[in-house]
Amino acid sequence: MIPAPFEYERATSVAHALELMAQGGEDARLLAGGHSLLPLMRLRLARPTLLVDIGGLDDLKYVSGNGDAIEIGALTTHHEIADSHELGEACPLLTTTAAQIGDPQVRHRGTIGGSVAHADPASDLPTALLAMDAEFVIEAVGGSRSVAAADFFEGPFMSALGDGEILTSIRVPVSGASGVYRKFNRRAQDWAIVGVAALIGTDGGAISSAAIGLTNMGGTPLRAEAVEASLVGVSGADEVAAAAAQVADIGMPPGDEQASAEYRLHLASVLIRRAVGDVLT
């Protein structure tokens, strides 16, 4: 299947890309790694009139840290994140999540910025970034702004990113907490039926801080706030399981051909228990 025809421009800088996007109007789309957009174009579910290729902007491909926070360029690939020693030390939740996306070929092409901007509720990285309280840096013709992950995702494939704006980097606070991402799918390389990102701080064997992100449990990545509150102070497996069961507090998740709403809640509870258990053992 071949995409419908489109115009193609190669951006030479972020400013040039913004200019091209403004000229292209509302049916212009940015192309980074293309691993969300091209499959949709091939199915003709997306028919942009102009593709602005930012894949050659090497200055959007970096990882830089200052001790308190790490900034990741939007064009950094999943493979580069999974393979980054610096990120593995500072944000283990991010590296372990990136390593579980798709397959090696997908990770070589897919980018963190593309994954966030696409805002697919079944994607893995947005959930991890929500659990880490990441911020997204967005450039527009008039200047730049920063949006917290909690405010960014608005619905399935909908985000705070406006027409003509470019997500250029992701800032992640360095917390010192341990991170685990667990997802359930029936076949290798499938999207997560449910995914759980756990960022857990411990003090003397007990949980001192907990952030739990959920993948594919709603129209956006979600935080399991009731679970987070119940986990603090907990150290035993039974108490972790009881806290994990509080995931039902988010309401009913969607049901589809992969899993009913009830089964999703069950999976989320089990995955939370296992993810937190990984940290405590």
Partner 1 sequence: MTRISLSVNGVQHEADVEPRTLLAYFLRERLGLTGTHIGCDTSSCGACTVLLNGQSVKSCTALAVQADGARVTTVEGLAEDGDWHPIQQAFHEHHGLQCGFCTPGMLMASVGILSENPDPTDQEIRHALEGNLCRCTGYQNIVNAVLAAAEDMRSSAAAS
Binding site for partner 1 (CB under 8 A): 1-8, 10, 31, 34-35, 38-39, 41-42, 51, 53, 55-56, 79, 102-106, 108-109, 188-189
Shortest distance, position 180 Cβ to partner 1, whole Å: 17
Shortest distance, position 100 Cβ to partner 1, whole Å: 10
Torsion of CA 104, 121, 136, 90, to 10 degrees: -50
Shortest distance, position 196 Cβ to partner 1, whole Å: 20
Shortest distance, position 28 Cβ to partner 1, whole Å: 13
Shortest distance, position 113 Cβ to partner 1, whole Å: 16
- With respect to partner 1, which residue has the nearer C-beta, 34 or 201? 34
Torsion of CA 20, 26, 31, 37, to 10 degrees: -170
- With respect to partner 1, which residue has the nearer C-beta, 146 or 189? 189
- With respect to partner 1, which residue has the nearer C-beta, 1 or 66? 1
Would you say 179 and 88 are in contact if contact means Cβ atoms under 8 Å apart?
no
Give the pair of three-digit tokens for residue 104: 């090696």
Shortest distance, position 51 Cβ to partner 1, whole Å: 7
Shortest distance, position 257 Cβ to partner 1, whole Å: 17
- With respect to partner 1, which residue has the nearer C-beta, 105 or 208? 105
Q: CA distances (Å), 130 to each of 58, 91, 151, in order?
A: 26, 13, 10
CB-based contacts of 280: which residues, under 8 Å, 6+ apart? 200, 202, 205, 207, 235, 237, 240
Would you say 54 and 17 are in contact if contact means Cβ atoms under 8 Å apart?
yes
- With respect to partner 1, which residue has the nearer C-beta, 56 or 155? 56
If you search the block for the tokens 């809640």, which residue do you land on?
265
- With respect to partner 1, which residue has the nearer C-beta, 85 or 143? 85
Shortest distance, position 17 Cβ to partner 1, whole Å: 15
- With respect to partner 1, which residue has the nearer C-beta, 114 or 218? 114
- With respect to partner 1, which residue has the nearer C-beta, 51 or 122? 51
How far apart (Å, rounded) are the C-alpha atoms in residues 200 and 204? 13
